[in-house]
Structures are given as structure tokens and as C-alpha cells.
Amino acid sequence: MSASHGMGGPGTIEALIQLLAKVPGLGPRSARRAALHLLKRRESLMEPLARALKDTAQSVKTCSICHNIDMTDPCHVCTDPKRDRSQICVVEEVGDLWAMDRVVGFRGLYHVLGGTLSALDGIGPEDLNVGQLVERAKNPEVKEVILATNATVDGQTTAHYIAERLSNTGVTVSALAHGVPVGGELDYLDEGTLFAALKARKPV
Amino acid sequence: MSASHGMGGPGTIEALIQLLAKVPGLGPRSARRAALHLLKRRESLMEPLARALKDTAQSVKTCSICHNIDMTDPCHVCTDPKRDRSQICVVEEVGDLWAMDRVVGFRGLYHVLGGTLSALDGIGPEDLNVGQLVERAKNPEVKEVILATNATVDGQTTAHYIAERLSNTGVTVSALAHGVPVGGELDYLDEGTLFAALKARKPV
């Protein structure tokens, strides 16, 4: 789309489409459709979205306690008086925190690691928010740390490392159960999951 | 996600997610993922996108000749000296113009109707940019008007109506061919398309 809306310089429709195409969920084709949709709804959607992006970008903060992303520091979770402060759920990324909080409804506290240990990518313990987690776990209020890293090799390696680091703090360390996803059919499952589910079988 | 990033008032992450969810291609779930992705790339993506949306929204115009959406009026297509000014391609929406121009590479001029006639929705000829098209067609420079409305009942009704309105202007009126989509397999086609393709069959 060269001639019909400029050469893609700043402030052109083409430049907007190229930025929209970097938003996950939108490819080059849907970015074009999105741009057109927005251009037709300038007052009702495009300008409010521009303002919301600008305002949020300017005032968003990383929580200095749990590393959640929020508009305040400490974040709403860490300052919420209704939360169970005896449990800290450890997750890899902020998105995992949001999922645990919104989907699962876990109402304890959280700690975002900011990734996983990865020999391949050269990510060591000093690159993750582990030291701070250990400090938090030493607070006598805290009784349990729940490791909710991903069920990947790196996620599980990280969980084991953290469990070890927490071993002399006196808190109970637990991890998410592995097993058959609820509603999952056995013959569609990978053998790793099936093996884990068998190993963790329970009396009925 | 109540507590962890506010109650959804203006300037909150939740408000941003709700606006993002209105962008076609993003649902509620992917809007959340998109928001997180943007919040992690504030300087490289979120702020440039906010600026691009604001700047484009402020300076975008509807072309007074062809009704394209562009940063200038008349638009880049109408002012492009390299265009073949003897052909006008008539489309329903701006998105169709972009597709014809970008995908097909049609290098004549365009005319955006702004919809189709629709008895059901109470859309009559006076609601579309038809009168202006007739005026443009009277320009002796114009030799052919190509009707590229959608192959829907409303699109075809509109095409017939326009063909009639143009009948005494002296221009050649043509329409997109109907037939088997290139690469299309016959047994997946609807019978309307197959019938049209048979009717429009050509000597090999």
C-alpha cells in the first residue's frame, strides 16, 4: 500500500499499521484491518486508546516487593489487607501472576521471578528475583511458598533451585501438581504428563 | 483481575485492556496478553504506538474526491500523477480500496461508496457516494468504471443500480468476474460460485 497512504514515515497510516503489527495477536494483515477499524472510530476508540496507552505507560510501575506490574508501588496485591499473607506463590512472569489471580483466584501473595534459570541463555540466579524471595520467606508471617513455575525443563530446574535456597528458612515449600488436565483425554496427552499423573496417583 | 491492577477506572491497566479488546483481532484474552507485552516494551512500542494513534487520529482525512481515508485531501491516489485516470474502480469500503491497491495492484483511480444499498437497513442511494461518482464519470478523461462491490446480494444490487445510473454517461461499465477462486477446489465451492463459473465459461 505505497501510494495511497504515504511512504510509511512517522505520522502516516502505514507507520501506524507497522506498530500495530508488533502487538501480539495482530499480524501484518490484521494490523491493517485494525488500523482501518480505529480510523473509522477516532473519537470513540482511537483517541481513548492513544490516551490510555500514554497514561498507562507513564504511570505504570514494577512492584518493589513482588515485581508485579501495576499503577502503584507496592502493587494492589501486596497492599491488599484481605490477602492471605502466609502464602507466597512464585511465578516466572507477570502474566502468570495475572492468570493465577484472575483465573484461579489464588488470594495469597505473589513473587515474580522474571524468568527461569537457563544455562543456554546464560541466565543465572543473580538474574532472577530469588534473593528477595528468600528474604521475604524469612518473615515469620510466611508459612508456605508455592512454586508455580512452568512445567518445562527450565521451569522445573528453577523450582528445584528455589526449593533448595528456601530449605533452611523453615517455610513449607510446595509445587503445583502435575497430572491429567481437567477435561483432558488420555490419548491426546504426551507421555510425560501421563507418566507424571500415574506417579502422582491418589487413593480414591 | 480485580485487586492486582485496580478497579478498571480511567488510567488503569484494566481500562487499557478493555480498550484493546475492542480492536478487531484481539479478544478479551489476547487483549490482556497484548497489554502485558506493551507494558514490558514501554519505550520501544507502547509510547510510539500511543503517539502514532494520536497523530494519525488528529490528521487523518476523508478524501473529498474518492472517499479514501488518508493523511491528505485529496488522497495520495487521487493526486498520484502516475495513475491511469481513465479508469475508476468502485468499491464498497476503504478496506476494499486498500486491498485492490495493495494486493491486486490496480493503478487506476478509485471511488468508495461507503456501503451498499440495503432495503433491510434502510440504506438508499442518497446514503452512498453515488451522485459524486456519476459526476466524476462525466469527466471526458474517464473511459471505464469497474464495479468491484462484494459478490453479495446487496453488493450486486448496488452494482446494478450504479450501472443504470452511469448508462447515459458514455463510459464503459464493467464488473469483476465471478468464478472459481484461483487455487480453489471445486468440491469446496458453494453452488452459486460454481454456477457463476459455469455460466461465465470461456473457450480454452
Query: Cβ–Cβ contacts within 10 Å for residue B110, how many?
Result: 28
Name all domains of chain B by residue range, CATH numbers in brackets.
13-59 (1.10.8), 69-203 (3.40.1360.10)
The pLDDT tens digits for B13-50 are 999 999 999 999 999 889 999 999 999 999 999 999 99
Q: Is the pLDDT of residue A30 over 70?
A: yes
> So what's the pLDDT on residue A8?
57
Nearest-by-Cβ selection for B4 from A31, A36, A76: A76
B84 alpha carbon, distance to own chain's centre: 20
Residue numbers in B near A62 (CB within 8 A) = none
Structure letter (DSSP) for residue B141: T
Inter-chain touch A71–B97, beta carbons under 8 Å: no
pTM confidence score:
0.79
Structure letter (DSSP) for residue B202: -
Among A67-71, A152-156, B113-117, the least confident range: A152-156
The pLDDT tens digits for B57-109 are 999 999 999 999 999 999 999 999 999 999 999 999 999 999 888 888 889 99
* Listed residue (A169, A157, A23, A141) closest to B46, CA to CA: A23
Q: Is the pLDDT of residue A9 over 70?
A: no
Greatest mean pLDDT range, A101-110, A134-143, A167-176: A134-143
Residue numbers in B near A82 (CB within 8 A) = 3
Inter-chain touch A36–B75, beta carbons under 8 Å: no
> So what's the pLDDT on residue B64?
97
Q: Is the pLDDT of residue A7 over 50?
A: no
Inter-chain touch A19–B57, beta carbons under 8 Å: no
Q: Is the pLDDT of residue A31 over 80?
A: yes
Q: To which H or E segment does residue B30 belong?
A: helix B28-40
> So what's the pLDDT on residue A200?
79
Q: To which H or E segment does residue B189 belong?
A: none
> So what's the pLDDT on residue B7?
47
> So what's the pLDDT on residue B8?
57
The pLDDT tens digits for A39-59 are 999 999 999 999 999 999 999
User: Is the peptide bond between B48 and the residue preceding it cis, with omega within 30 degrees of 0?
Assistant: no
Ramachandran angles phi, psi of B177, nearest 5°: -70, 145
- Choose the mutation target among A23, A61, A67, A76 for the interface with B, i.e. most B CBs under 10 Å: A23
Inter-chain touch A54–B47, beta carbons under 8 Å: yes
The pLDDT tens digits for A116-127 are 999 889 999 999
The pLDDT tens digits for A114-158 are 999 998 899 999 999 999 999 999 999 999 999 999 888 899 999
Mean per-residue pLDDT for B195-199?
78
